[in-house]
Copies of this chain bind each other. A is one copy, B any other.
Amino acid sequence: MEHLETKNRVGLIVVLTGNGKGKTSSALGMVLRAVGHKLRVCIIQFMKGDLYCGEIDGVKWLAPLVEFHQTGKGFCGIQGNQIPYHEHRVNAQCAIELARDKIRSGLFEIVILDEINNALKLGLVDLPQVLELLDAKPPSLHLVLTGRDAHPEVCARAQTVTEMVEVKHAYRDGIEAQQGIDY
């Protein structure tokens, strides 16, 4: 088996957006791949934290290479979420602080900001705050930003952008969310 040698390690900005399934999953898949290369990863989930999801225990298998933080209380304004807007905003602001610290720490080769695109769209974080994270990242650090409605200025700074387009989703047939697939 041939081993590619990455001669020039370039810290990429990768944006995973769109309305289809696969954004967070794709970021988690990069975690599994990165661990195979013995890279260290920090995952910060914006807004998530109210519902149990498999990655909470999944990433424990990858310790000590992976650090995992949930910083929120659910998706603001949808799915019957009862938390006041200002509380979502405070949580997201804390997540931005955490992201800034982790990005600057030098402890990770990859930092994943899960659902940050969504948080920005909802006004829980501000565009200058996100752009500052992108502009201040160490050159060799990969930064992965997920969530619907990625901001055009964020995409403009990224090297790789995928739009996950929903062709079909099981929930439209009334099939409930499935363990391991959807959460």
Indicate which residue in B14, B109, B155, B169 contacts A160 across the interface (CB closer than 8 Å). Answer: B169
Indicate which residue in B9, B12, B164 contacts A22 across the interface (CB closer than 8 Å). Answer: B164
A residues neighboring B (CB under 8 Å): 1-4, 6-10, 12, 14-16, 18, 20-37, 39, 41, 49-62, 109-110, 142, 144, 155, 158-170, 173, 175-181, 183
Chain multiplicity (copies): 2
Minimal beta-carbon separation of A113 from chain B (angstroms): 15
Residues of B within 8 A of A167 (CB): 15, 155, 161-163
Asked if B61 contacts A61 (CB within 8 A), the reply is: yes
Residues of B within 8 A of A56 (CB): 36
Asked if A163 contacts B37 (CB within 8 A), the reply is: no
Indicate which residue in B30, B55, B60, B166 contacts A33 across the interface (CB closer than 8 Å). Answer: B55
Asked if A21 contacts B160 (CB within 8 A), the reply is: yes
Residues of B within 8 A of A57 (CB): 35-37
Alpha-carbon separation in the docked complex, A178 to B39 (Å) = 12
Residues of B within 8 A of A169 (CB): 159-160
For residue A17, which residue of chain B has the nearest CB? B167
Asked if B175 contacts A18 (CB within 8 A), the reply is: no
